[in-house]
């Protein structure tokens, strides 16, 4: 089905487009037209009637860890009393247990969950310390099958030794170069966090990273990251990266919680992409982004889920609550997100003619009046964490009637369980990573 209309819904992009009884005409993977809904206007074209639901641009998750998908139900290996011990006893142990098969299956499980929640673009931050070379290519296969957009990177770290970081650097640069001209899948330079990167490794990254290759890093997530940078004489984690000339307007900084005055100044000057991950921050008890200091940020899930509306609701509950400035949230959730998405994928985000047809129909029919001004209220209190009704990526339907269209989900999940079992066995025998 190359040409079809999705209509009889509320078409909105949180910015300029709001059509109460509207339709989106999709042709050859692109948005051909947006307008009012009249079935008779499209007599020869297939038509999907969405019954009054919300038709929106597909969501972006700008900070995800698909490798964590098979950790659901897995307990840390010992009592965890702080953030760094949680990494050592759960996440680093898990990623060190991943092999090629489990990397692929994790990616696909996470992508399926994301697509069910209307996500059509994911910035993934990957780690599998004992399967480095080729790991990004393995993940990209799952993206290709699903047909969604991905910005992939490997989290360079010295936690397995400085010599290992060499392979991480190669994997990042190799994948980036091979995907320069790919429309849907691109590479970034992944780094775990300042506190697992030595001066020596940062030097190497600064020397070898192509100038136009963006970084993706956890930055000031926990106080420990901030203190580590101070010990080396830097003002904070952003300052350290900036001194290695790694910060520009395409840098992706996840969290940005524990920062210095100088760090905030650099963010103001160089305008990197700041991703706040409210559910992860609450889960790890690391604090919250300072919204008085950082005005331009977008929301990510940090591996907690693939659900951007649930993340939006969590952000609301954990931040302003009844004092919330909804117009600020709306700017972040829509305009700011589109801006970020288009830095990497120029023809997506936002409802405009000629853009890629990346569309979500949220499974929610408002029972009260909806307007451009109260959209956030409808998403947070009405749609909440509802799954998508329909997800379209590059003009292809990838989720409809509760079913993923690009894979037999039942068969795949049955297979995934077997692979997860083997992964958990390797995890049990994997010692905690000492760093």
- The two beta strands, 403-404 and 149-154, are unpaired
Residues 68, 91 contacting (CB under 8 angstroms):
yes
Q: How far is the CB of 302 from Zn ion (least distance, A)?
A: 4
Check binding of 155 to Zn ion (CB under 5 A). Answer: no
Q: Which is nearer to Zn ion, 61 or 394 (CB)?
A: 61
Question: Which strands make up the sheet holding 273-276, listed edge to edge?
Answer: 189-193, 215-219, 252-255, 273-276, 298-299
**With CB under 5 A as the contact rule, which of the stretches 29-37, 191-199, 257-265, 301-309 interacts with Zn ion?**
301-309
Instruction: Locate 345 and state its tokens.
Output: 């994928």
DSSP state of 335: I
CB of 276 to Zn ion, least distance (A): 12
Q: Which residues contact residue 429 at a Cβ distance below 8 angstroms, ignoring those fewer than 6 apart?
A: none
Least distance from Zn ion to the Cβ atom of residue 301, Å: 9
Compute how many residues bind Zn ion; rule: CB under 5 A.
Answer: 1
Q: Closest separation between CB of residue 24 and Zn ion, Å?
A: 33
Do residues 288 and 319 make contact, with C-beta atoms less than 8 angstroms apart?
Answer: yes
Q: What are the residues whose beta carbons fall under 8 Å from the beta carbon of 327, sequence distance 6 or more?
A: none
Residue span 328-347 as binding mask against Zn ion, x where in contact by CB under 5 A, dash where not? --------------------
Q: Which stretch binds Zn ion (CB under 5 A): 103-111, 262-270, 294-302, 353-361?
A: 294-302
- Contact assessment for residue 391 and residue 359, using Cβ atoms and an 8 Å cutoff: yes
Considering the complex, state which of residue 304 and residue 329 has its C-beta at the smaller distance from Zn ion: 304
Q: Which two tokens stand for residue 170?
A: 């190669």
Least distance in angstroms from the C-beta of 104 to Zn ion: 20
CB of 192 to Zn ion, least distance (A): 9
- Residue listed under structure tokens 């830097």: 234
Q: CB-wise, 302 or 358, nearer to Zn ion?
A: 302
> Which one of 52-60, 99-107, 173-181, 300-308 is the stretch in contact with Zn ion (CB under 5 A)?
300-308
Sign of torsion over alpha carbons 192, 194, 197, 199: positive
Q: How far is the CB of 193 from Zn ion (least distance, A)?
A: 9
Residue nearest to Zn ion (CB): 302
* DSSP output for 368-400: S---TTSHHHIIIIIITTPPEEEEEETTEEEEE
As to burial, measured by CB atoms within 10 angstroms (0-12 exposed, 13-18 middle, 19+ buried), residue 327 is exposed
Q: Least separation, in Å, of the C-beta of 7 and Zn ion?
A: 38
Judged by beta carbon, residue 155 or residue 239, the one nearer Zn ion is 155
- Closest Cα partner for 1 from 395, 408, 399? 395
Q: Is the CB of 222 or the CB of 302 nearer to Zn ion? A: 302
Residue 119: CB minimum distance to Zn ion, A: 16
CB nearer Zn ion, residue 171 or residue 302: 302
Using rule CB under 5 A, residue 124 touches Zn ion: no
- Contact segment (CB under 5 A) with Zn ion among 3-11, 163-171, 299-307, 322-330 equals 299-307
- Whether the Cβ atoms of residue 90 and residue 76 lie closer than 8 Å to each other: yes
Judged by CB under 5 A, the stretch of 115-123, 146-154, 164-172, 296-304 that binds Zn ion is 296-304
The length of the chain is 435
Q: C-beta of 303: minimal distance to Zn ion in Å?
A: 6
Check residue 302 for interaction with Zn ion (CB under 5 A).
Answer: yes
Considering beta carbons, is residue 95 or 358 the nearer one to Zn ion?
A: 95
E strands, 178-318, in order: 185-187, 189-193, 215-219, 252-255, 273-276, 298-299
Alpha carbon 107 to its chain centroid, in Å, reads 12
- CA 15, 361, 30, 22 torsion: positive or negative? negative
- Binding region for Zn ion (CB under 5 A): 302
């Amino acid at each position: 089905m190359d040409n079809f209309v999705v209509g009889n819904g509320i078409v909105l992009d949180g910015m300029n487009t709001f059509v109460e009884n509207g339709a989106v005409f999709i042709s050859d993977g692109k948005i051909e037209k947006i307008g009012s809904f009249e079935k008779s206007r499209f007599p020869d074209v297939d038509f999907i009637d969405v019954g009054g639901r919300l038709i929106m641009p597909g969501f972006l998750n700008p900070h995800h860890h698909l490798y964590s998908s098979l950790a659901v139900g897995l307990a840390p290996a010992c009592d965890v009393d702080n953030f760094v011990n949680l990494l050592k006893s759960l996440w680093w142990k898990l990623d060190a247990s991943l092999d090629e098969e489990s990397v692929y299956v994790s990616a696909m499980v996470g992508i399926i969950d994301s697509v069910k929640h209307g996500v059509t673009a994911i910035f993934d931050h990957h780690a599998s310390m004992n399967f480095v070379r080729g790991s990004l290519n393995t993940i990209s296969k799952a993206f290709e099958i699903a047909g969604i957009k991905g910005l992939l990177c490997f989290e360079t770290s010295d936690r397995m030794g400085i010599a290992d970081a060499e392979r991480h650097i190669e994997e990042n640069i190799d994948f980036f170069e091979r995907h320069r001209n790919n429309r849907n899948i691109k590479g970034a330079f992944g780094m775990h966090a300042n506190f697992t990167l030595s001066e020596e490794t940062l030097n190497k990254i600064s020397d070898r990273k192509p100038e136009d290759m963006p970084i993706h890093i956890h930055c000031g997530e926990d106080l420990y990251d901030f203190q580590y940078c101070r010990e080396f004489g830097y003002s904070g984690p952003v300052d350290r990266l900036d001194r290695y000339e790694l910060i520009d307007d395409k840098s992706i900084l996840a969290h940005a919680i524990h920062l210095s005055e100088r760090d905030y100044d650099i963010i103001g000057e160089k305008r990197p992409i700041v991703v706040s991950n409210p559910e992860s921050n609450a889960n790890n008890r690391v604090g919250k982004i300072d919204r008085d200091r950082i005005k331009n940020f977008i929301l990510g899930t940090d591996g907690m889920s693939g659900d951007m509306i649930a993340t939006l609701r969590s952000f609301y509950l954990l931040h302003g609550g009844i004092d919330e400035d909804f117009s600020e949230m709306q700017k972040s959730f829509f305009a700011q997100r589109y801006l970020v998405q288009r830095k990497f994928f120029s023809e997506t985000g936002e409802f405009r003619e000629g853009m890629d047809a990346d569309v979500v129909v949220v499974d929610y029919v408002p029972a009260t009046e909806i307007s451009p001004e109260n959209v956030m209220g409808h998403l947070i209190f009405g749609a909440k964490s509802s799954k998508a009704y329909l997800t379209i990526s590059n003009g292809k339907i990838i989720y409809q009637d509760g079913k993923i269209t690009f894979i037999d989900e039942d068969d795949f999940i049955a297979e995934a369980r077997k692979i997860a079992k083997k992964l958990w066995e390797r995890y049990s025998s994997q010692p905690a990573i000492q760093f």
